[in-house]
Amino acid sequence: MMMDKKQVLDFLPHRDPFLFIDTVKEITLPDSLNGKTGPFTAQQMIGGRVVCSFKVDQSVKVLEGHFPGDPILPGVVQVEMMAQAASFLATYCKPSIDSKIEVALLGIDSARFRRPVVPPMDLEVHATLTKVRGPIQMYDCEIFSNGELISQTSVMASLKFNN
């Protein structure tokens, strides 16, 4: 499944200057679900993976203040980007097409920032669902640029669907 910018905006409640996903490049279901149609439970989606993209250029508003003349994308924004990417796996768990998803970031673990993110950089954001306990989900997330690992963390989030 791919999503363009309009579909991303239809799915996520975030807006500029706090939207950090441009497109969804692919969503890969766990092997056990290949050939099946959803909706699936979150438990069934363990092992599912999403790949998103984001272009870091001078138009990214947060760069105006971090830091003028030497812009660097803050680590907290990278974590938010990974959390936003992770939420797209829920598209296969929606009870109906009209259901809206409510996501709350609950925690991060082992965040590592290996290289500064500066304009212009094309980022690829990966998120893999690793655990589910009720409405709580854990994701292993990574950001790459030109195939190089830039940052990574584990994200814990709560997901709820509203009709």
Let me know if 14 is a catalytic residue.
Answer: no
Q: How many CA within 13 A on the CB side of residue 22?
A: 10
Residue in 14, 25, 66, 94 annotated catalytic? 66
Residue 33 CA from chain centroid, whole number: 21
Closest Cα partner for 64 from 53, 55, 73, 76? 73
The CA distance from 53 to 98, in Å, is 25
Ordered DSSP codes for 7-71: HHHHH----TTS----EEEEEE--GGGTT--S---TGGGTT-EEEEEEEE-TT-GGGGTS-TTS-
Closest Cα partner for 115 from 68, 154, 148, 146? 148
Cis peptide before 30 (omega within 30 of 0): no
Catalytic residues: 66
